[in-house]
Amino acid sequence: MRLRTQQRLPRRTPASQAFTLVELLLVLVILATLAAIVVPKFAGRTEQARVTAASAQISNFSVVLDAFEVDNGYYPKGKEGLLALVEQPRDAQSWRGPYLKGEIPNDPWKNPYVYECPGRHNVDGYDIMSMGPDGREGGDDDITNWEQANKRAE
């Protein structure tokens, strides 16, 4: 029986086993390209989710404000505002709250919702608004109950 001798390959030095600078730069370019494509898509979805959350909270406020109005015959006015949904106002004899659990939530950008009754846009009711991402009243980024009502009517 003949033994086969294996041909030995020359031993590689540690320096020849490492990645080259060109290979590392190529990997970095590929990762940067993927990040440039993926990150903006996720960033836009986050802002869209916040807008949707603010809109849903305004709709929730509308439901509980209507329940308050059915029980008491009026919407909360003046300084009591949304606080009347969690704490009984002095003049609300038929109050059956709290209408919201816990405290009055802030909008997704950590700003308080703006509530006015009677409203400037809903004269027979109330206006409620999130000032949106910029935190200032006015502009295209405000989320309001009067714009939601207009969209539903269309």
The domain segmentation of the chain, as residue ranges, is 21-153
Confidence tier at 12 by pLDDT (50, 70, 90) = low
Burial class (CB in 10 A: 0-12, 13-18, 19+), 55: middle
Confidence tier at 8 by pLDDT (50, 70, 90) = low
What per-residue confidence (pLDDT) applies to 149? Answer: 54
CATH of domain 21-153: 3.30.700.10
CA 86 to chain centre: 23
Query: What pLDDT, in 10s, does the model give residues 87-127?
Result: 998 888 899 988 888 899 999 999 999 999 988 998 889 99
User: CB under 8 Å to 81, separation ≥6 — which residues?
Assistant: 115, 117
d(CA 56, CA 115): 16
pTM of structure: 0.69
Query: What pLDDT, in 10s, does the model give residues 60-75?
Result: 999 999 999 999 999 9
